[in-house]
Each structure stands twice: as structure tokens, then as C-alpha cells.
Amino acid sequence: MFTLLFSTTLTFLVLSAIMLFSSLLSKKTILDREKMSPFECGFDPKTSARLPFSLRFFMIAVIFLIFDVEITLLLPLAYTPPLSNVPTWSLLSLSFLLVLLLGLYYEWLKGALEWTQ
């Protein structure tokens, strides 16, 4: 028990030190107005360089990525029944599919799947 606690604490401390060190090294110290603005041949920019971003498109892209990852988790289920206990496999598969369908139903009720309003 002590070795597990010690190794977990040591790992946490080492990772925290690495993250702190990398954030200190990555800070830019020169904050010049010309370097912070977008490049337009030496002239002051006429408009903002940021384009308007559709939050609806972002939400649909995130939902697509989540369900894409879940499909990759579903594919091995087709190969595992001969290697495992069939009732246990069925229970786990159905519970996983139920969680996926409940998530999809929740997103549908919240209107996140509608492109236009």
C-alpha cells in the first residue's frame, strides 16, 4: 500500500515539475504591438484577423468526434463473443449501447443536432 502511494505521489510531483518547467520555457517575453498584430505589409490592420466562427458547427463537430470514437470502441465487440462469456458480453454490450443511445437522445432533445434554428 505504501509503495503504491509513494509511486503515485512521486509520479504526480515529477509530472507537475515537467509541466511547470515547460510552461516557463514556452512563455513569450517580447510583447510588441507589431508582433501581436496580423501581418499586412507593415500597415495597421483594417479589420480584425479573426473570422466569425459558428458555435453550432463546432458543437456538431465535437459530437461527431465523440460518436466516432465510440464507434471504434464498438468494433471490437463483434470479435470478442467467442473469447468471453456470452451473457457477460451481452450485458456489457447492451449497457454500452444503452449509454450511447441515451447520450444521443439527450443531444437530440437539447437541439444540438439541429443545424439551423
Do the domain assignments include residue 37? yes
At what angle are helices 55-74 and 86-110 packed, to 10 degrees?
170
Q: Which three cell numbers stand for residue 109?
A: 432533445
Do the domain assignments include residue 93? yes
Do the domain assignments include residue 115? no
Q: Domain containing 94: what range?
A: 2-110
Do the domain assignments include residue 116? no
pLDDT bucket at 12, cuts 50 / 70 / 90: very high
Q: What is the pLDDT of residue 11?
A: 95
Distance CA 59, CA 41 (A): 36
CATH number of the domain bearing residue 18: 1.20.58
Q: How many CB atoms lie within 10 A of CB 115?
A: 8
Count of the separate structural domains present in the chain: 1
Query: pLDDT tens, 54-88?
Result: 777 887 888 888 888 888 888 888 888 778 888 88
Q: What is the pLDDT of residue 38?
A: 63
Query: pLDDT tens, 16-36?
Result: 999 999 888 876 666 666 666
Q: What is the pLDDT of residue 15?
A: 95
Q: What is the pLDDT of residue 98?
A: 93
Do the domain assignments include residue 47? yes
Do the domain assignments include residue 117? no
